[in-house]
Amino acid sequence: MSARTTERPQVRPPGAWAFPEPDEHQLPNGLRLLVLDLPGQHVLSVRVALTLPVSSEVPGTEGSTLLMARALDEGTARHTSEELAELTERHGIAWGAGAGERGVHLGVEVTGRHLGTALEVLTECLAEATFPDTEVARLARHRLADIAHDDADPGARASLQFVRTYFDERDRPHTPLGGDRDSVASLTPEHLRERHAALSPVGGTVVLVGDLSTTPDAVRTVAATLGGWAGQARPPGPPGPARRAATAGRVVLVPRPGLAQTELYLGRPGPDRRTPHGWGTYQALGMLLGGSPHARIDRVLREERGWTYGVRAGFRPRAVGGLTVVGGSVRADATAPALEELLQILSVPGAGLGEAEVRAAADFVARTAPGRYGTADAVADELVALLSDGLGPRTVTETLEQLRTLTVEQVAAAWDEVLAGPPWTVVLVGDPGYAEGLADLGLGPVSVVG
């Protein structure tokens, strides 16, 4: 039996690593193609991002972009919905479709030998989707069921109430990306066809990542499929405004009598990824405030008080500006003291942040990067997110370089800027019996919504 080593081992410095750089191709129809060979990644990840901001939806049809994206594989000129399902599933093709602030994103996971089929189906859906009445009606009903489920989930309910409270009602972000009950219920196949007709390859991005050793013709295959899709000649413009409501500095309680925990959701203005402070600065800030059980928040609320399973903090970038967000659930009878303690923790000025915690947080973000980007899907997701946001593939590597030399002063300045901005919008979902004292926390007026 070996003897015990009581001396703590030294850590060797991390090995060199850079975010992998894809090859870039311009397809004749205006799509930009990024291809990255990652040996050993036997499932290939394909991503397509097309400009179609939800802010360009006709008022009253909010959610039409998301429903259109979801209905792309529900019938084409050549195949019915069921035929498409069989075609994709017999080839093990996993398909995803969504919508965001800037537009539509489609994703496919597929083994190398079925890449050709996957790209053909993807192209057929983009070019020839027909949006049959029965399928659209079914998807709309499912979306309404999803909305009901979101309303019943305290975390999802809090986030819905937050956008309603925080964003100016004149702007699209005031309404959930997927629309609300009224707008979704009114959607027709014609609404979806109109959104579909506005899709353009120009300014769009295709990303293909994975082990390409068995698909040497991958670029030609993409060019022959997605590259042949015509679409609209000109893409729609950039996303509309996302202004903060003049009344956002307040507290809103969504009553849920008897709920064993209260969901807390706090938000205020934050940066976008082009911030002069550097995006990495905010990644480190999020970590040291609310990124782990020993971060500033959970060190107290979880580990000292036992009031929560975890409260997280972070930053959500948008096209212009973004959000600082803090959220989690706390024991119902500790609602007021937990919120008070949380606000106290978050009020720490930049000068109160320490050298050691900044270094640890920055090192964590920088040194976890190789592991975070170890799979084809993670690399593809990052690439498409960067390019959709107008940034280049080198952004990750540049952010990591910034993190290596990040100073406590830089982080302090970034946090002070957040604190100097407009105050918190606070949403609580929980038992109103534990809401006493909220008005005394200096968070502005308290209102209760159904």
Partner 1 sequence: MPLSYPVHATTLPNGLRVVVSEDHAVPTVSLTLWVDVGSRHEVSGRTGLAHLFEHLMFQGSELVAEGEHMSSLMAQGGRANATTSFDRTAYVESVPTGALELALWLEGDRHGHLLPALTQENLDNQRDVVVEEKRQRYDTVPYGSALEHACRLVFPEDHPYHHTTIGSMADLAAATLDDTHAFFRAHYGPTTTVLSVVGDVSPTEVLALADRHLGHLQDATVPRPGRTAPLPPLAGTPSLDVVDDVPSERLYLCFRLPAVTDPAFLPCAMAMDALASLSVSRLQLRLLRREESVSGVSASALGLVDGTSMGLLVLDVSDGVDPALVETAVHEELVALGREGPSEAELEASRADTERSWLEALAGFDERADLLARATAVFGDPEQVNRYLDDVVAVTADQVREAAAHWLQPGAAATIRYRRGATASTPLPDEVLATAGAVR
Q: Of 71, 358, 366, 383, which lies in the binding site for partner 1, with binding defined by CB under 8 A?
A: 366
Q: For the chain, count helices (H), then strands (E).
A: 16, 12
| Chain residues 92-151 in contact with partner 1, contact rule CB under 8 A | 92-94, 109-111, 138, 141-142, 145, 148-149, 151
Binding of partner 1 at residue 38 (CB under 8 A)?
A: yes
Where would I find the H helices in 260-354?
Answer: 279-290, 296-301, 335-346
Q: How far is the CB of 70 from partner 1 (least distance, A)?
A: 13
Residue with smaller CB distance to partner 1, 76 or 308: 308
d(CA 400, CA 138): 45
Q: How far is the CB of 3 from partner 1 (least distance, A)?
A: 6
Alpha carbon separation from 213 to 48, 224, 227, 235 (Å, rounded): 22, 19, 22, 35
d(CA 377, CA 381): 6
Q: How far is the CB of 196 from partner 1 (least distance, A)?
A: 21
Residue with smaller CB distance to partner 1, 166 or 434: 434
d(CA 70, CA 170): 26
DSSP state of 22: P
Binding of partner 1 at residue 81 (CB under 8 A)?
A: yes
Q: How far is the CB of 76 from partner 1 (least distance, A)?
A: 15
Bridge-based pairing of strands 205-210 and 43-51 is antiparallel
Binding of partner 1 at residue 41 (CB under 8 A)?
A: yes
Secondary structure (DSSP) of 130-177: ---HHHHHHHHHHHHHHHHHHHHSHHHHHHHHHHHHHB-TTSGGGS-T
d(CA 165, CA 429): 14
| Chain residues 235-264 in contact with partner 1, contact rule CB under 8 A | 259-261
d(CA 444, CA 441): 8
Among the listed ranges 79-87, 169-177, 185-193, 278-286, the one in contact with partner 1 (CB under 8 A) is 79-87
d(CA 429, CA 260): 11
Q: Of 39, 276, 442, 450, which lies in the binding site for partner 1, with binding defined by CB under 8 A?
A: 39
Binding of partner 1 at residue 89 (CB under 8 A)?
A: yes
Among the listed ranges 14-22, 213-221, 234-242, 312-320, the one in contact with partner 1 (CB under 8 A) is 14-22
Q: How far is the CB of 187 from partner 1 (least distance, A)?
A: 16
Q: How far is the CB of 373 from partner 1 (least distance, A)?
A: 7
| Chain residues 305-344 in contact with partner 1, contact rule CB under 8 A | 305-309, 329-331, 333
Q: Of 35, 56, 85, 188, which lies in the binding site for partner 1, with binding defined by CB under 8 A?
A: 85
